[in-house]
Amino acid sequence: MISLAQTYFIEVMTIILYCLLIFVPLLLGVVMALYADRKIWAAVQKRRGPNVVGPYGLFQVPADGLKFIFKEIILPDGSDKTVFLIAPIITLALSITAWAVVPVQAGVVLANINVGILYIFAISSLGVYGILMAGWSSNSKYPFFGALRSAAQMVSYEVSIGFVIITVLLCVGSLNLTEIVMAQKTMWFFIPLFPMFIVFFISALAETNRPPFDLPEAESELVAGYQTEYSGMPFVLFLFGEYINILLMCAMTTILFLGGWLPPIDIYPLNAVPGFVWFLLKVIFVFYLFAMVKAFVPRYRYDQLMRLGWKVFLPLSLFAVVATSSILFFFNLAPGM
Amino acid sequence: MTAQLLTFYLFSGVILISSLMVISTKNPVHSVLFLILSFLNAAGLFVILHAEFLAMILIIVYVGAVAVLFLFVVMMLDFKTSINKDNILQYIPIGILIGVVFVAELVIVLINTKFDLSNIQVLPNPLSDFIGKSNTEAIGSVLYTDYILYFQLSGVILLVAMIGSIVLTLREREGVKRQAVSEQLQRQGKIDLVDVKSGKGVDI
């Protein structure tokens, strides 16, 4: 056993170090995303947003976090306490786990696995469990309704996200995220697949429960949806999980459609910039779009949401899969043919 | 190799324990959650076998879709009244029967198969045609050529099942008003933008 420990000790330690290298920037990113979200939202409505704590209100989010940490964790009397506490942990853990395969630069990725895109799809389809467990275990009406809505919504929009991913994969010929980015060297995929880019963007909004699809936590009807009974640290875990998921969807949009870490044009001053800077800039741009949508668009009604998912996006993306594969086949453009 | 062995024991141990919990917990929702846990660990076993595509599909299909529907239904049941302790004993004989049949089938299969345990390294890459290909590619090149008929057939069966369940549960109710979205959007000419003068109002 001693030799075993010696063999694996260094390996395990390096993996833990890499995990921290993902986790710490991610936490920082979430803090900045929360701040940016509120600032952009405020700017659209001609308010100032957070501007008191720290310079330009930059320390508002850490201050909020500190407040949440010191708050009491209230466990509702009739709740299923184990599931109640596991739910936020699952949400946060899953959202971080998905980042293991996201390449931020050529070769800079924790796990460069062959089925990277499927892995992310699988992990994000698991995300619904945190919400379902939270809603059920709270043993209260509003969280339950929020959870039911959320589950139906996320499962519905996953279908169209899956088909959009398939159209991209048809153009790449690989499930590896690095190869998906490298396939966009000549042209970013949002140009030939522009309708799918729009479908993916809107589905990503629905998948992450962002406005205008934030019905699971529609405060005008459901108080706070599945989070109603949560307080203190578990609530922060939900909040962080949600924002890490949003950032993941921004990163996915970047990788699938906006060329990942590739510069817009492959000429000298642009391609001298390190890849992760481009990646970061694109993710920030997509997040900016997410925040603007939140500020502009009124909330959907639930039946309209379901109609959009099943009667508009599903046929559209299904048609796009057939159309893309036909075009690739007839013009002999399909990779590996 | 040792790490692989340890992860194998971890995954299969969790599968065994959580499967046992599925049938022994009193709360149906907990049963479904344990079922999901065992699905996830089965996916882990696939990854150890280098079958990462199958692992991901298992998670996406079973955990991400099927088990969500299970949970959805079970969550809405009022299970506090439906559990009766006396009932558990009456299921034991049929459970044993099913177990015996299952073990017998396994034994029949295992007797006719030769396992060469010394050459266990060949297991991840069993067919020489697919060496050097990712297993997504390997599955695709077999599934859409040699087994295309079975693949299509299973698709048709699923489609029939889906249509059947929709037809069975479809009911037309009288007096339900529906929103005709396309008609609403095409209603041009009936919408005016009117600049309302303050204090005078507007005629409609």
Give the number of other CB atoms < 10 A from CB of residue B125: 14
B72–A158: do the CB atoms touch at under 8 Å? Answer: no
Percentage, residues of chain B above pLDDT 90: 23
Instruction: Summarize pLDDT for A50-72 with one digit per residue, the tens.
Output: 888 888 888 888 898 888 888 88
Mean pLDDT of the residues in chain A = 85
User: Measured on CA atoms in the order A163, A165, A170, A175, is the torsion positive or negative?
Assistant: negative
What is the rounded distance in angstroms from the CA atom of residue A74 to the CA atom of residue A77? 9
Closest to A125 in 3D by CA, of A213, A246, A207, A240: A207
A128–B3: do the CB atoms touch at under 8 Å? Answer: no
Does residue A151 sit at the B interface (CB-CB below 8 Å)? yes
Judge contact between A327 and A333, C-beta under 8 A.
yes
Cis previous bond, A264, omega within 30: no
Amino acid at A257: F
Q: Mean pLDDT, to the nearest integer, of B36-53? A: 88
Q: Using H for helix, E for strand and C for coil, what is the string for chain B?
A: CHHHHHHHHHHHHHHHHHHHHHHHCCCHHHHHHHHHHHHHHHHHHHHHCCCHHHHHHHHHHHHHHHHHHHHHHHHCCCCCCCCCCHHHHHCHHHHHHHHHHHHHHHHHHHHHCCCCHHHHHHCCCCCHHHCCCCHHHHHHHHHCCCCHHHHHHHHHHHHHHHHHHHHHHCCCCCCCCCCCHHHHHHCCCCCCCCCCCCCCCCCC
User: Does pLDDT of A3 surpass 80?
Assistant: no
Measure CB to CB from residue B60 to each of A121, A175, A307 and give the nearest one: A121
Instruction: Summarize pLDDT for B99-139 with one digit per residue, the tens.
Output: 999 999 988 887 776 665 555 555 555 566 666 677 788 88
Helices (H), ranges, B113-180 = 135-143, 148-169
What is the rounded distance in angstroms from the CA atom of residue B79 to the CA atom of residue B145? 47
What is the rounded distance in angstroms from the CA atom of residue A334 to the CA atom of residue A330? 9
Residue B133, pLDDT score: 72
Q: Mean pLDDT, to the nearest integer, of B176-191? A: 78
What is the rounded distance in angstroms from the CA atom of residue A137 to the CA atom of residue A131? 10
Judge contact between A73 and A233, C-beta under 8 A.
yes
Q: Which residue of A has its CA nearest to B30?
A: A83
What is the rounded distance in angstroms from the CA atom of residue A87 to the CA atom of residue A102? 24
Residues in chain B: 204
User: Does pLDDT of A167 surpass 60?
Assistant: yes
Judge contact between A298 and A212, C-beta under 8 A.
yes
What is the rounded distance in angstroms from the CA atom of residue A312 to the CA atom of residue A74? 42
Closest to A209 in 3D by CA, of A151, A162, A256: A151
**SS3 of residue A278 by DSSP:** helix
Instruction: Summarize pLDDT for A211-262 with one digit per residue, the tens.
Output: 788 877 766 677 777 788 888 888 888 888 889 999 999 999 999 888 888 8
Judge contact between B59 and A115, C-beta under 8 A.
no
For chain A, first and last CA: distance in Å?
A: 51
Quote the crossing angle between the two packed helices A232-257 and A141-172, to the nearest 10°. 20
What is the rounded distance in angstroms from the CA atom of residue A91 to the CA atom of residue A214? 17
CA distances A241 to A27, A34, A139, A284, Å, are: 10, 12, 22, 18
Identify the weakest region by mean pLDDT among A24-33, A187-196, B117-126: B117-126
Residue B98, pLDDT score: 93
What is the rounded distance in angstroms from the CA atom of residue A81 to the CA atom of residue B131? 50
Q: Which residue of A has its CA nearest to B67?
A: A129
Does residue A93 sit at the B interface (CB-CB below 8 Å)? no
Chosen from A1, A2, A15, A125 to mutate, greatest number of chain B CBs within 10 A: A125
Q: Which residue of B has its CA nearest to A126?
A: B64
Which pTM value belongs to this model?
0.84
Residue B159, pLDDT score: 95
Q: How many CB pairs under 8 A join A and B?
A: 73
Nearest-CA distance B117 → chain A (Å) = 23
What is the rounded distance in angstroms from the CA atom of residue B184 to the CA atom of residue B162? 31
User: Does pLDDT of A285 surpass 80?
Assistant: yes
What is the rounded distance in angstroms from the CA atom of residue B13 to the CA atom of residue A44? 54
Q: Left, alpha or beta for A29 (phi > 0: left; psi -120 to 50: alpha)? A: alpha
- Which uninterrupted H or E stretch holds B106? helix B92-112
What is the rounded distance in angstroms from the CA atom of residue B53 to the CA atom of residue A219? 40
List the Cα angle A45/A48/A50 in 5-degree steps: 120
Helices (H), ranges, chain A = 2-44, 60-70, 81-97, 116-137, 141-172, 177-182, 194-207, 219-222, 232-257, 268-271, 275-296, 302-307, 314-330
User: Does pLDDT of A312 surpass 80?
Assistant: yes
